[in-house]
Chains A and B, each alone.
Chain A
């Protein structure tokens, strides 16, 4: 693993008061006044203890060079690069905001520019895994502090505190014993003050000098104390795209127009890999506006993000392309997955879940615990496939000519897309450019660039720019689906109803089947998502995985395998509480057990235990934090109150993506319809940079969680998806959504490492709702989606 910092630097940062100091050796400069300000940087503040994050071991790692991310115009405009993709989390605002705050920039004078896909330049850009803030908050702060340092040196030259020479500036760089420190000037908001004279100079006037200075090392830097933040942690900075979004000016994938651009709509095989036997395009070609019909080769799994293949109708405008596609006469043959039927497959998975699986984690002696149990209590929980269904269906624009490719697309992985386009077209990567538009929702779907590759291949084929437009039917029928699963949990109870053993067999087709020959087993990343990391204090544990082969493209969907695991575990705890006549929350807290950090090696975790790519020391599994969010959500929701018949509260808690989230849902059954008038969500994601966007992510997670609880299931018949649009794959709507979501954020200092919130809000929602339905009605629902009525 790469370490982006030497251990020495970490120790120094942790022990050194990071302040602008009056150092006596500076006296020789003679021009420094005695009374310069220290007020901005309290001497004893431990402002920034650097720590390792998983970002440094991601492809192309992290970049700390402000010359890549920041520029300052002579008029004072500061431009900051947003290198992550904006799909609604606010990252395009929040990360630059962190840099701007640490730098001292006035947000009103900051422009944001979106980076092209270029990881060697910007570092990893793969926007998923709830890791943008987690991985980049430190680099943003460091780059901000670096620019502030450079502005400070520049201001000393500007004010004549030091000579305006390269040599004079160089004295501020190097090992501490030889290095001068900035003094006599105070970097304020978008200006620097001469402490002796009170004179100020704007960032713009310093830009030319400052941006030519070397970038300081980490140990040169001072960092703001948290009390000095103007934007970080406040939640006052609005999305940079807010005005454009509300006036229709924001640019999404389909909104880029190129001269001579053609529109392609593609008929894809109903079952993955099904061969095209024949195509009759006569009717399609007769539609005004349709210009060409092009066949694309059919691919079979595993194919990573290679397009499914099929028949593309290319037209002058979208309407003609859709109409043309819809009248193609296509005869599809039988493919390797044409026998895939969801009902039979689920029966098979349930059977597998009830048999012993591969043991991933063994703690204590589970066989003995179950053999000696006074009682064994077990239940099964299942989940259907789901499609992400972002409001913007997949869409991409490609202009391939003269051996170069230029792409405009809403992609979560701009550089991965660039690499894949280069490979698909057999071009050097330097000859491929990927412009990232806003994403009209992503949820994991737009991490997979099959739709971009379609556009690239078609543009090369027809020699003109092409927009490939997916219809909603294409999106629902040809996604990379969230896996389907069967989860069997059983506990061994002693004669006093204490839980002495836990066995959980999770059975689901693996995402890995999209990338490599399918083993039928989950891989370490899926195993790490709420399965092997089961946090309960139970002496004897067996965490297992049974075999299930994939018959459609499996991909990651917001919160991934945490969804079925939280669904199973948190539903099961509530059922067990009912079985034992216990309060659900009390039993949950009791099972989590004593305040401790789980100890993976001694608790039988697998050697490849995946902690969301983070070191365990930096992001341990804390039962105290898990219990704290549980109690917080319960308290705020008035847990324990008597509710009228037909109403109930349900609780669930889950740690995912190193963030802890508990949810309490209130369900009222109104004429048989499940309604959720109120929900309390407690979230502990470490240090929070933008609480306003944390709240919006929790509110959104509540809606998506309710949708996946009630509405959204994808099923297959003869390999083909049976749903097609929002009328048969409906989402929660304004007439029935979690009406009031209260988000309770656990506040932490910067030393409690920032995590992320894009995904972790989702997993506890469905079990909280189902547990509330049970308390309202006595109906126990174990299969997602559970339906909108009870």
Chain B
């Protein structure tokens, strides 16, 4: 049994320390918003925040997360109205939507780290998050909108 701080709540997770964090979140903590896309850290679908910084949860273990504050898409904002989420809706970003939780978590972390982020930094920063539907044009616009507030 491991205690994790997830979305501001202390949760007891029945897992060994070497369990992949992604699957612990999905299967054991019941948080389904974080998605499995590749399992090897190259698609970004499982992006979460660890102490406020975006990381792919498929490359972390439960032990890695102990003592840290984990935030998943479910906990990004109280009401679903984080500026990134609002921008995502205003611009109609998603198609199938499967990668979007990871995209949103990555984007939120990027603009938190660098509010005056440049276009090139957005492109580079988002390039670890794949979207097979091809929403990139709108993703980049939405990150820009969320960063500038307009």
Contact = CB atoms under 8 A, between A and B. Distances in A.
Contacts of A247: 33, 73-74, 76, 80, 85
Contacts of B52: none
A255 B37 CA distance: 13
Nearest to B126: A734
A390 interface: yes
A732 interface: yes
A242 interface: yes
Interface in A221-251: 238-239, 241-243, 245-251
Contacts of B138: 696, 699
Contacts of A443: 132
A731 B23 contact: no
Contacts of A696: 92, 95, 135, 138
Contacts of B96: 86-88, 390-392, 438-442
A389 B131 CA distance: 10
A200 interface: no
A241 B97 contact: yes
Contact of B32 (A87, A246, A254): A254
Interface in B81-111: 85, 88-89, 92, 94-101, 104
Contacts of A150: none
Contacts of B12: none
A726 B130 contact: yes
Interface in A415-458: 438-443
A739 B137 contact: yes
Contacts of A472: 37-40, 43
B104 A733 contact: no
A440 B96 CA distance: 5
Given A238-B89, A250-B97, A391-B98, A700 B133 contact: yes
A284 interface: no
B92 A238 contact: yes
B72 interface: yes
A438 to B, nearest CB: 7
Contacts of A699: 134-135, 137-138
Interface stretch (A134-142, A316-324, A335-343): A316-324
B32 A255 contact: yes
A700 B72 contact: no
A505 B135 CA distance: 36
Contact of B27 (A87, A252, A319, A726): A319
A736 B33 CA distance: 27
A704 B126 contact: no
A696 B124 CA distance: 22
A615 to B, nearest CB: 31
B132 A731 contact: yes
A726 B43 contact: yes
Contacts of B45: 391
A692 B92 contact: yes
Nearest to B31: A248
Interface string B117-130: 00000111011111
Interface in B45-71: 45
Interface in A712-734: 725-727, 731-734
B38 A392 contact: no
B145 interface: no
B49 to A, nearest CB: 13
B134 A319 contact: no
Nearest to B86: A246
B36 to A, nearest CB: 7
A252 B37 CA distance: 13
B28 interface: yes
B5 interface: no
B77 to A, nearest CB: 8
A248 B49 CA distance: 14
Most buried by A among B32, B98, B127: B98
B70 to A, nearest CB: 14
A737 B101 CA distance: 20
A254 B37 CA distance: 11
Contacts of B39: 322, 471-473, 725
B148 interface: no
Nearest to A288: B16
A727 B35 contact: no
A703 B27 contact: no
A546 interface: no
B24 interface: yes
Contacts of A700: 95, 133-135
A178 interface: no
Nearest to B80: A247
Given A252-B98, A319-B19, A741-B137, A389 B132 contact: yes
A740 interface: yes
B40 A725 contact: yes
Nearest to B96: A88
B30 interface: yes
A88 B97 contact: yes
Interface in A55-105: 86-90
B138 to A, nearest CB: 7
A735 interface: yes
B42 A726 contact: yes
Contact of A734 (B31, B97, B123, B133): B123
Contacts of B97: 88, 241, 245, 250, 438, 440
A699 B92 CA distance: 12
B94 A239 contact: yes
B38 A726 contact: yes
Contact of B134 (A471, A732, A735): A732
A32 B31 CA distance: 60
A309 interface: no
B40 A319 contact: no
B114 to A, nearest CB: 16
B67 to A, nearest CB: 21
A725 B89 contact: no
Contacts of B132: 389-391, 441, 443, 704, 731
Nearest to B129: A734
A438 B99 CA distance: 13
Interface of B: 15-16, 19-20, 23-24, 26-28, 30-40, 42-43, 45, 72-74, 76, 80, 85, 88-89, 92, 94-101, 104, 122-124, 126-140
28 contacts: A90-B95, A241-B94, A243-B80, A245-B97, A247-B74, A247-B80, A247-B85, A248-B31, A248-B33, A251-B32, A254-B26, A255-B32, A317-B28, A390-B96, A390-B98, A391-B43, A391-B131, A393-B37, A469-B36, A472-B38, A472-B40, A696-B138, A700-B95, A704-B134, A733-B136, A737-B137, A738-B137, A739-B137
Given A391-B130, A735-B123, 12 more contacts: A243-B89, A247-B85, A248-B101, A317-B27, A319-B20, A322-B39, A391-B37, A391-B43, A469-B36, A472-B39, A726-B130, A738-B137
